[in-house]
Structure 1
């Protein structure tokens, strides 16, 4: 596959990049929506984290900004392709299975570091205006995942460029980055606690942690793991948004009682 990628023209790279990023966004976003809005609740597995309703206007906002991000990510495939064409980076043509696994793990760790650094910068007073479109999704959905200002999309979308300059990765390790990144992003933005019985620090509690980031705005800047927030003291307590959620829940229950039987 690496040789096929190298043989593409610039326009072909852009075309397939747009198709790839648009396809995985719609597919994984839709599957996560169906899973958390219909299948898991009907089976009694897990629960919604923030009960506030998601409006049609919010979904339109998310899909509009996500469309811009797909455009940027798709066109941005020119950059890794260009590094390979210029000889500034190279693909390992014969990687072993274990090498691919180790490279994917290394890129997953780097992805968390890269995300935390850029996310933390986006919460500074100089850059936060570029992060505000994403935070309009106070109650997150799987379609919030690519809902970025173009500046934020550029910052987050360059994650593989530096590693490519430092090591000759296999094609499949590099290909895995947008896949596991979007998969974990959908989980984190699902507004659903898939594993209520695991601890707040557990890898499987990423949706709880990112829900708190959107509910509280500051803190929990990490992606899937917690080591960067632990290292820099930016991890929110597990009950950081409890007061907000309980207030909304009480108000909705009171409205239901006042409305009476239908």
Structure 2
């Protein structure tokens, strides 16, 4: 498969990239929305984290911004393809299953490090205006995942380029990065606590942590794991959004669900 990817023409790489990222976004987003709005509540599994409603203009904004991100990520496939064409990077040939599994584990850790660094930079004074569009989704949805400013999309989309310069990865290891990245992103933005019985610091509580990041607008800069926020002291307290949510619940109790 790696040889077939390298043999593609420039327009073919762009078209395949657009199809790949578009299908990932719509597929994962739709499945996660169905699970959290229909199936899991009906089964009594998990709970909604932020009860505040999503306004219609948020849906429109998320799909427009996400469309631009899909365009950037899809067309951006020319960069890893270009590294291979220039001979600056190579793909491993006949990689074993163990090698692919080890590479995916390393890339998952790198993905978290890369995300934390870029996310922290996007909260700096110099770059926060490029992260603002994403944070307009205070109550997140699975379709918030790619709702970025183009600058943020470019920053986050560079995740596999640096590793490719340092090691000859399998094609399948590299292709797994956007898959598990978007999967984790959909979980994190689903506004749903999938496993209520685990602690706030557990890997399975990533949706709780990222929900708090959007509600409090700072801290919890990590992705699926917690080691970067622990290392740099940027983890939010589990009750960081209680003031806002309790105020909303009191208003609902006083004025009814349409308030």
TM range (shorter): over 0.9
The CA distance in 1 between the partners of 2:28 and 2:55, in whole Å, is 20
The residue that corresponds to 1:247 in the other structure is 247
Structure 1 residue 256: deviation in Å?
A: 2.1
Question: What's the offset of the Cα at 1:242?
Answer: 1.0
Partner residue of 2:40?
A: 40
Deviations 1:138-190 (A, max 9, x none): 00000000000000000000000000000000000000000000000000000
Match of 1:49 in 2: 49
Which residue in the other structure is 1:30 paired with? 30
Aligned to 1:229: 229
| Alpha-carbon distance change, 99 to 200 in structure 1, aligned in 2, over 3 angstroms | same
Q: CA deviation at 1:257?
A: 8.2
Partner of 1:213: 213
Alpha-carbon distance between aligned partners in 1 of 2:258 and 2:139, rounded to the nearest angstrom: 25
Superposition map of 1:82-93 within 5 A: 82-93=82-93
The equivalent residue for 1:65 is: 65
Could you tell me how far 1:254 is from its partner in structure 2?
1.9
Using the alignment, how far apart are the partners of 1:203 and 1:2 within structure 2?
A: 32
Cα deviations by residue, 1:49-92 (Å, 9 ceiling, x for unpaired): 00000011101000000000000000100000000011000000
- TM-score normalised to the size of structure 1? 0.97
Hey, what's the Cα distance between the residues in 1 that align with 2:178 and 2:253?
A: 41
Question: What CA RMSD, in Å, does the superposition of the two structures yield over aligned residues?
Answer: 1.1
Give the Å deviation of 1:258. Answer: 9.8
Report matched runs for 1:1-262 at 5 Å: 1-256=1-256
Q: Show structure 2 runs of 5+ residues with no match.
A: none
CA distance in 1 between partners of 2:194 and 2:245 (Å): 18
Give the drift of 1:93.
Answer: 1.0
SS at match of 2:180: helix
Distance 1:193 1:232 in 2: 25
TM-score (norm 2): 0.98
1-side partners of 2:102 and 2:252: how far apart? 49
Provide the aligned length of Structure 1 versus Structure 2.
Answer: 259
- Give the distance between the partners of 1:63 and 1:174, measured in 2 at CA: 26
CA distance in 1, matches of 2:255, 2:25: 36
Q: Give me the whole-angstrom Cα distance separating, in 2, the residues matched to 1:222 and 1:168.
A: 27
Give the distance between the partners of 1:146 and 1:246, measured in 2 at CA: 29
